[in-house]
Amino acid sequence: MLFRSSRAKAVALTVAAATAAGLASAVNATDANAVVNGRGTIVARLTGPGAINDTVGKYDIIGTDLGILWDNGKGEVLAAFGDTQSFDGWSLLRGQLFQLRSNALLRSRDRNLSNGMTFTGHSGPPGYAKRVVKASRREITIVPTGGVAVNGKQYMGIQAVNVWGDAGRWMTRYGALAVSGNNGRTFKRVVAYRPNYRGNRKFQQVAMMKDGGYVYVYGTPSGRYGAVYLGRVPEGKIENLGAYEYWSVNHWHKGSPTAATPIMSAPTGELSVAYNRYLGRYVSLATRDGAVLRTAPRPEGPWTPGQNIVPASDPLGGYAPFIHPWSLDGPTMYFTYSIWHGYQVYLMRVNLRR
């Protein structure tokens, strides 16, 4: 997605919310600080001219962002990217420097991440990573938000953006799932369609995680300034919106997402969630003044208030940390990270301790 700025904005809190945050901080601050040894650092640039991957020649990707990662269950990691730039004659004829397509998908089999993440394939014809989900005339772009493999199919969370606003603010027509039965070569929308009103506003952007026979869906409203809400559904019913239940205060509520209450505080932007076997805890990375790491003993929490592992100023313009699913067994956790200045995706790492 085309990122406007990474500037933090002050958020007014009610007295009750401030008190709750203070209590949570007092209880969980030790856990939050104990799991990180140092800050996140760049391993390699993954996209664009001069990157470790020839994304220009092999996939016609000049610039892009996001790089949402999930294990496809077939020995590959799929990487979904947001608004993707190409340089070609079609653009120049229209007076544009770049052609812009809403999304793209690459594949990787690389398990040695210490020197970066190499891509080994893509969705599209030779030399071109195509747009896998097209926008209609009623929206500006379709942006991926999360991904998961269930029963041999690939599911990708998408948001249909129809208004770009100020820094970190945009509006969607809907959030949904797109499904692929051919390893991401083509996707069909719309599955689990959520129009942007009432309780569905809380799930316009979703991160997804499989755990214990369920798919957990972590949702936020449009933009980067909302709280995080949680739903779950049995894996086999992921396409049935009526089968979802939502975490409400302290229990699971089956019915409308209106009942969902925050499990992570605002402001929280793009996020990813996974179970880290090395820590024996669930971990989340999210956009918040750079990148923030939270942990929890259970999918619903309680989540720690979070520790900033990548400052907003270094690298400047950074956002959207997505956990690499093959880096959850040891003391080094890898994640993709987008940097607005240059509009490219990087691989980063953070050292953990237990």
pLDDT digit string, tens, across residues 23-54: 333 333 344 457 999 999 999 999 999 999 99
Say if residue 109's pLDDT is above 50.
Answer: yes
Convert the pLDDT of each residue in 15-24 to its tens digit: 233 323 333 3
Can you say whether the dihedral through the CA atoms of 21, 22, 23, 27 is positive or negative?
A: positive
AA letter at 35: V
Q: Which residues pair with 275 in a beta bridge?
A: 282
Convert the pLDDT of each residue in 162-191 to its tens digit: 999 988 999 999 999 999 999 999 999 888
| Contact criterion met (CB below 8 Å) for 326 and 71 | yes
Whole-angstrom distance, CA of residue 256 vs CA of residue 253: 8
Phi, psi of 202 (to 5 degrees): -75, -10
Say if residue 280's pLDDT is above 80.
Answer: yes
CATH class entry, domain 15-351: mainly beta
95: DSSP letter: T
- CB atoms inside a 10 Å sphere around CB 300: 16
- pLDDT score for 5: 36
Say if residue 10's pLDDT is above 60.
Answer: no
Instruction: Please work out, in degrees rounded to the nearest 5, the angle formed at the alpha carbon of residue 304 by the alpha carbons of 303 and 306.
Output: 120
Can you say whether the dihedral through the CA atoms of 30, 21, 349, 213 is positive or negative?
A: positive
Average confidence (pLDDT) over 264-268: 98
- pLDDT score for 28: 39
Percent of the chain surpassing pLDDT 70: 87
Say if residue 110's pLDDT is above 90.
Answer: yes
- pLDDT score for 33: 52
- pLDDT score for 300: 98
Residue 7: partners with Cβ closer than 8 Å, 6 or more residues away: 167, 168, 312
Phi, psi of 155 (to 5 degrees): -115, 130
Q: Write the CA distances from 225 to 7, 131, 146, 204, integer angstroms.
A: 12, 28, 18, 13
At 343 the three-state DSSP class reads coil
Looking at per-residue confidence, does 115 or 14 come out higher? 115
Whole-angstrom distance, CA of residue 55 vs CA of residue 154: 23
- Mean pLDDT estimate for the chain: 89
- CB atoms inside a 10 Å sphere around CB 135: 19
| Contact criterion met (CB below 8 Å) for 346 and 45 | yes
Convert the pLDDT of each residue in 75-104 to its tens digit: 999 999 999 998 765 544 455 556 788 999
- pLDDT score for 201: 98
Phi, psi of 11 (to 5 degrees): -120, 120
Percent of the chain surpassing pLDDT 90: 82
Residue 75's Cβ-side half-sphere holds a number of Cα atoms within 13 Å equal to: 2
Q: Where are the domains of the chain?
A: 15-351
Whole-angstrom distance, CA of residue 12 vs CA of residue 312: 20
Whole-angstrom distance, CA of residue 176 vs CA of residue 160: 8
Residue 190: partners with Cβ closer than 8 Å, 6 or more residues away: 174, 176, 177, 178
Q: What's this model's pTM, rounded to 2 decimal places?
A: 0.89
